[in-house]
């Protein structure tokens, strides 16, 4: 049941329309919500059991705000508002929890959770907007240092404080790593797709030169062989096939040529050509060696 709920929340991040980057942002922030809810529940239960009900209410507040904000996002698809509310809760609630526990040491530096705010903003927003969130985080640290002498520790056991240092620092580092790992994997996936599309249009050498920012230079060959390929009775056969199957067939044909070129170590370039008008009446590729 819990797994089904998590999958439902993750699907909320998939937009029916929009760019791949926007879809990635939505998936990332909703996945972060799914990952944080169990942890905030655990932190709330532990603080309540340790005799700090006020402190336990702070992560409990996140458990109320985050699902409501996500439900509104699922309804109106307003990523800007949803992202702002989530980032604000990431920033403010750990600071409130630290204040309720009596400062940096007695809270086991729980304010480190607020570092997820600028990190997430850097992945999801314009870098200039992310700067505002990191300034907000630094500002809260300064305010906390100023207020530290006036805060009253709630008297948690020393062992409890020590182990929560481990939990807070370790959990934040693991989440930060998971965020970056997921983002990099998804970015690489979309980059590979775009490169595959580019290679369907341009030869690999030209594609690599364009990506490197170089102007492709014309190549000179002392000798070359050109293969003109024709498919017998192409027009009647194409009339019986769907467009997708027809494209797959042509791809298979030219893939055979590509395999032969690689097998015999020939240098290959590609150029557009006309299929035989008697059969195809369309465009294809000429293989040049």
**For the chain, what are the domain ranges?**
2-199, 219-288
Tens of pLDDT, residue by residue over 147-156, are 999 988 888 8
For residues 50-60, average pLDDT? 90
For residues 9-34, average pLDDT? 62
Residues in a beta bridge with 227: 287
- Choose the weakest-confidence range: 130-144, 165-179, 222-236, 265-279: 265-279
In this model, does residue 274 exceed pLDDT 80?
Answer: no
Distance CA 99, CA 152 (A): 9
Highest averaged pLDDT of the listed ranges 40-54, 181-195, 220-234: 40-54
Cβ(24)–Cβ(35) under 8 Å?
A: no
Where does the pLDDT of residue 134 fall: very low under 50, low under 70, confident under 90, or very high at 90 and above? Answer: very high
Which has the higher per-residue pLDDT, 45 or 21? Answer: 45
In degrees, rounded to 5, the angle at the alpha carbon of residue 124 between the alpha carbons of residues 35 and 119 is 65
Which has the higher per-residue pLDDT, 201 or 17? Answer: 201
Evaluate if pTM is beyond 0.85.
Answer: no
In this model, does residue 90 exceed pLDDT 50?
Answer: yes
In this model, does residue 133 exceed pLDDT 70?
Answer: yes
pLDDT score for 122? 85
Distance CA 135, CA 163 (A): 29
For residues 57-63, average pLDDT? 91
For residues 127-150, average pLDDT? 93
């Amino acid at each position: 049941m819990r797994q089904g709920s998590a999958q439902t929340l993750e699907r909320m991040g998939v937009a029916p329309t929009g760019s791949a980057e926007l879809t990635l942002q939505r998936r990332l922030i909703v996945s972060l919500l799914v990952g944080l809810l169990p942890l905030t529940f655990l932190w709330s239960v532990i603080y309540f059991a340790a005799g700090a009900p006020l402190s336990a209410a702070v992560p409990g507040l996140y458990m109320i705000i985050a699902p409501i904000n996500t439900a509104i996002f699922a309804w109106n698809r307003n990523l800007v508002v949803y992202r702002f509310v989530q980032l604000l809760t990431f920033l403010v609630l750990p600071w409130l929890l630290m204040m309720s526990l009596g400062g940096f040491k007695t809270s086991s530096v729980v304010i480190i959770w607020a570092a997820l705010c600028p990190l997430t903003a850097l992945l999801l927003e314009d870098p200039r907007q992310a700067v505002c969130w990191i300034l907000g985080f630094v500002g809260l640290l300064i305010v906390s240092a100023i207020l530290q002498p006036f805060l009253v520790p709630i008297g948690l056991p020393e062992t409890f404080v020590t182990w929560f240092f481990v939990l807070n620092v370790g959990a934040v580092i693991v989440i930060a790593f998971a965020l970056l790992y997921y983002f990099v994997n998804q970015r690489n996936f979309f980059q590979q797709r775009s490169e595959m599309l580019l290679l369907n249009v341009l030869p690999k050498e030209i594609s690599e030169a364009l990506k490197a920012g170089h102007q492709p230079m014309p190549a000179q060959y002392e000798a070359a062989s050109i293969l003109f390929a024709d498919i017998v009775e192409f027009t009647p056969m194409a009339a019986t096939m769907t467009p997708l199957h027809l494209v797959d067939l042509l791809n298979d044909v030219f893939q055979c040529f590509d395999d032969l070129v690689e097998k015999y170590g020939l240098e290959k370039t590609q150029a557009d050509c006309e299929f035989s008008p008697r059969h195809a009446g369309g465009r294809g590729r000429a293989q040049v060696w």
